Chains A and B, each alone.
Chain A
Amino acid sequence: GAVVSQHPSWVICKSGTSVKIECRSLDFQATTMFWYRQFPKQSLMLMATSNEGSKATYEQGVEKDKFLINHASLTLSTLTVTSAHPEDSSFYICSARDPNIMNTEAFFGQGTRLTVV
Chain B
Amino acid sequence: DAKTTQPPSMDCAEGRAANLPCNHSTISGNEYVYWYRQIHSQGPQYIIHGLKNNETNEMASLIITEDRKSSTLILPHATLRDTAVYYCIVRVAYKRNTPLVFGKGTRLSVIA
Contact = CB atoms under 8 A, between A and B. Distances in A.
Interface of A: 4, 6, 31-32, 34, 36, 43-46, 49, 91, 93, 95, 97, 99, 102-111, 113
A46 B93 contact: no
Nearest to A59: B99
B103 interface: yes
Contacts of B43: 4, 6, 93, 95, 108-111
Interface of B: 32, 34, 38, 41-46, 49, 85, 87, 93-94, 96-97, 99-105
**Shortest 8 CB-CB contacts between residues of A and residues of B:** A108-B43, A105-B46, A34-B99, A103-B93, A44-B102, A32-B97, A43-B102, A111-B43
B89 to A, nearest CB: 9
Given A105-B46, A105-B49, 5 more contacts: A36-B99, A43-B87, A95-B99, A99-B96, A109-B43
A99 B94 CA distance: 10
A45 B100 CA distance: 10
B101 A108 contact: no
Contacts of A110: 42-43
A103 B32 contact: yes
A38 to B, nearest CB: 9
Nearest to B85: A43
Contacts of A106: 46, 99-100
A6 B101 CA distance: 20
Contacts of B99: 34, 36, 46, 49, 95, 106
Contacts of A108: 43-45
B112 to A, nearest CB: 23
Nearest to B87: A43
Given A99-B96, A105-B34, A46 B45 contact: no
26 contacts: A32-B96, A32-B97, A34-B100, A36-B102, A43-B85, A43-B87, A43-B103, A43-B105, A44-B38, A46-B99, A93-B44, A95-B44, A95-B100, A97-B97, A99-B96, A99-B97, A102-B94, A102-B96, A103-B32, A103-B93, A103-B94, A108-B43, A108-B44, A110-B43, A111-B42, A111-B43
